[in-house]
């Protein structure tokens, strides 16, 4: 009989742990539950045991929840990470350098927390266990282009951020678009919330709080001297090209969804580039594997089902009635005819 997935909950307040154990109810029929009363205990467990899902408090005597999250993001298998805390991210005294798959404020209905865990678990299950899945689940954010980071820093400094400015930055930097989607989804208090596009994601964020959040955890910039910088930029250019093709004749009310799907459709390739070269060999041998990887990452980071479906099927002529999927397939196909470079699809 296969082993049950392992759920680890961490909170220095015994009553919260007891209530989590009691209230996660039906989920616990499918998962083994461990409760840890301190960050140190949780880190020891993560280093010696396989954990599939982590739910942690943030403010605890050191090591705090962020230390636990960082340790989890490097573990293998990489657990899905959830924060369950009384503190809003903008009120945290430390940097938010590791974005979770969901950040929920206490008290949250246990049913909602269970729903969040289950849907992330299903998204993780769409990729078979191994280094690629660990890379997707362990990923907290993608490096952004240095010019994006400069604009972002200037806007944070000048208190000039707005949803439109964030969306405009993401239109030039697909990795930033992915980060924005992830940030909006993980800050949303509704586990059922899904986003059709980056503008919608940006609009869901509370801008004054976002200032504080970003100040405490700006994404990292792409290292221009690294071996992947050239490929990374080509990939960005390709994604922007596909986005441009998709908005050329999309329904006016769906511009955000179409442009975002173009920007994000190859995010799995960025994820693969991010990995150690020897760990991604099987996926490179099968060039279409990145469609499934992109779709799994987008599901985990809160993209709407229409977007995920289109991205998953980007290399096959669509059979479903999803016009976005047909448009993405056609855009990739047209692009391939015109450009025969390595990032043609
Ligand atoms: Fe592709
Ligand atoms: Fe592509």
Q: What is the pLDDT of residues 233-279, one digit of tens each?
A: 999 999 999 999 999 989 999 999 999 999 999 999 988 887 766 65
| 339 CA from centroid of ligand 1 (Å) | 13
Name the closest ligand to CA 290: 1
Q: What is the pLDDT of residues 101-120, one digit of tens each?
A: 999 999 888 788 999 999 99
Highest mean pLDDT of the ranges 73-77, 90-94, 193-197: 193-197
What mean pLDDT is predicted for residues 178-207? 93
Evaluate whether 82 touches 104 at the Cβ level (below 8 Å). Answer: yes
What's the CATH number for 144-345? 1.10.3210.10
Given this model, what pLDDT does residue 316 score?
A: 85
Is the predicted pLDDT of residue 96 greater than 80, yes or no? no
Average pLDDT of the chain is 89
Q: What is the pLDDT of residues 197-223, one digit of tens each?
A: 999 999 998 887 777 777 777 788 999
Is the predicted pLDDT of residue 185 greater than 60, yes or no? yes
CATH fold for the domain made of 6-125: Rossmann fold (3.40.50)
Given this model, what pLDDT does residue 63 score?
A: 94
What mean pLDDT is predicted for residues 142-158? 92
| 314 CA from centroid of ligand 1 (Å) | 6
Name the closest ligand to CA 262: 2
- Tell me which residues have their CB within 5 A of the ion that is ligand 2: 266, 345
Higher pLDDT, 322 or 40: 40
| 187 CA from centroid of ligand 2 (Å) | 29
- pLDDT band at 284, cuts 50/70/90? low
Is the predicted pLDDT of residue 93 greater than 70, yes or no? no
| 291 CA from centroid of ligand 1 (Å) | 6
Given this model, what pLDDT does residue 119 score?
A: 93
| 343 CA from centroid of ligand 2 (Å) | 6
- pLDDT band at 3, cuts 50/70/90? confident
| 44 CA from centroid of ligand 1 (Å) | 40
Given this model, what pLDDT does residue 325 score?
A: 94
Determine if the pTM surpasses 0.85.
yes
Given this model, what pLDDT does residue 5 score?
A: 94
Name the residue ranges covered by the structural domains of the chain: 6-125, 144-345
What mean pLDDT is predicted for residues 38-56? 97
Given this model, what pLDDT does residue 39 score?
A: 97
| 73 CA from centroid of ligand 2 (Å) | 28
What mean pLDDT is predicted for residues 173-182? 95
Given this model, what pLDDT does residue 165 score?
A: 94
Evaluate whether 308 touches 299 at the Cβ level (below 8 Å). Answer: yes
């Amino acid at each position: 009989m296969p082993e049950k997935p392992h759920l680890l909950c961490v909170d220095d307040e015994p009553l919260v742990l007891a209530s989590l154990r009691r209230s996660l109810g039906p989920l616990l029929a499918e998962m083994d539950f461990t409760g840890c009363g301190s960050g140190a205990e949780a880190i020891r467990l993560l280093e010696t045991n396989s954990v599939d899902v982590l739910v942690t408090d943030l403010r605890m005597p050191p090591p705090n929840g962020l230390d636990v999250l960082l340790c989890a993001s490097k573990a293998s298998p990489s657990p899905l990470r959830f924060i369950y805390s009384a503190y809003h991210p903008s009120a945290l005294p430390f940097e938010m350098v590791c974005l979770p798959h969901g950040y929920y404020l206490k008290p949250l209905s246990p049913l909602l927390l269970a729903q969040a865990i289950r849907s992330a678990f299903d998204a993780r299950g769409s990729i078979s266990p191994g280094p690629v899945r660990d890379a997707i689940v362990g990923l907290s954010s993608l490096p952004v282009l240095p010019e994006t980071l400069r604009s972002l820093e200037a806007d944070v400094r000048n208190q000039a951020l707005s949803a439109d400015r964030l969306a405009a930055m993401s239109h030039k930097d697909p990795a930033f678009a992915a980060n924005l989607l992830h940030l909006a989804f993980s800050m949303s208090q509704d586990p059922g919330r899904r986003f059709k596009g980056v503008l919608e994601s940006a609009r869901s964020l509370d801008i004054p709080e976002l200032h504080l959040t970003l100040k405490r955890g700006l994404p990292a910039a792409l290292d221009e001297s690294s071996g992947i910088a050239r490929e990374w930029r080509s990939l960005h250019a390709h994604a922007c090209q596909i986005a441009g093709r998709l908005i050329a004749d999309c329904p006016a009310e769906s511009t955000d969804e179409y442009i975002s799907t173009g920007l994000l459709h190859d995010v799995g390739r960025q994820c693969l580039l991010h990995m150690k070269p020897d760990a991604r060999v099987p996926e490179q041998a099968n060039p279409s594997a990145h469609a499934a990887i992109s779709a799994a990452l987008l599901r985990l980071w809160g993209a709407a089902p229409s977007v995920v479906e289109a991205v998953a099927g980007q290399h096959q002529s669509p059979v479903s009635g999803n016009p976005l999927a047909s448009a993405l397939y056609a855009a990739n196909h047209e692009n391939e005819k015109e450009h025969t470079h390595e990032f043609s699809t």
